């Protein structure tokens, strides 16, 4: 995402916490990220740094899991373009920019 943002200044990414069951700590980490509403905490999680326990009660992560199931998303990353097209899996920055430019 950072590479795409460097090349496309008029783009926004919305990161939705969708922890996969195979990652044992992902659910709690997702709750912490949602509760903290902090890019720094998200960056720490992506850098595999330890995170504190969630400091709030939230159903956001559970709601995201339900939405992903409804949309047929079963893995991460998954990119949903503004027109609703779902692109599963990782894409290099240039490939993602090409997909966005075609829309």
Buried b (16+ CB within 10 A) or exposed e, 44-82: bbeeeeebeebeeeeeebeebbeebeeeebeebebbeee
Residue labelled with tokens 């700590």: 25
Alpha-carbon distance of 7 to 100, in angstroms, equals 12
Give the Cα separation of 38 and 49 in Å (integer): 14
Which domains are assigned to the chain?
A: 2-102 (3.40.30.10)
- What pTM, to 2 d.p., does this model score? 0.84
Give the span between the Cα atoms of 51 and 35, in whole angstroms.
12
- Could you list the pLDDT tens digit for every one of the 103 residues in the chain? 889 999 998 999 999 999 999 999 999 999 999 999 999 999 999 999 999 999 999 999 999 999 999 999 999 999 998 888 899 999 999 999 998 888 6
């Amino acid at each position: 995402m950072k590479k795409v943002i460097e090349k496309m200044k008029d783009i926004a990414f919305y990161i939705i916490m969708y922890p996969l069951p195979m990652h044992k700590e992902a659910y709690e980490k997702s709750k912490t990220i949602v509760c903290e509403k902090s890019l720094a905490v998200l960056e720490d999680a992506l850098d595999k740094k330890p995170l504190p326990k969630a400091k709030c009660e939230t159903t956001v992560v559970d709601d995201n899991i339900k939405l992903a199931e409804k949309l047929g998303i079963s893995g991460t990353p998954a990119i949903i373009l503004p027109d609703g097209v779902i692109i599963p899996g990782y894409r290099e920055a240039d490939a993602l920019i090409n997909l966005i430019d075609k829309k």
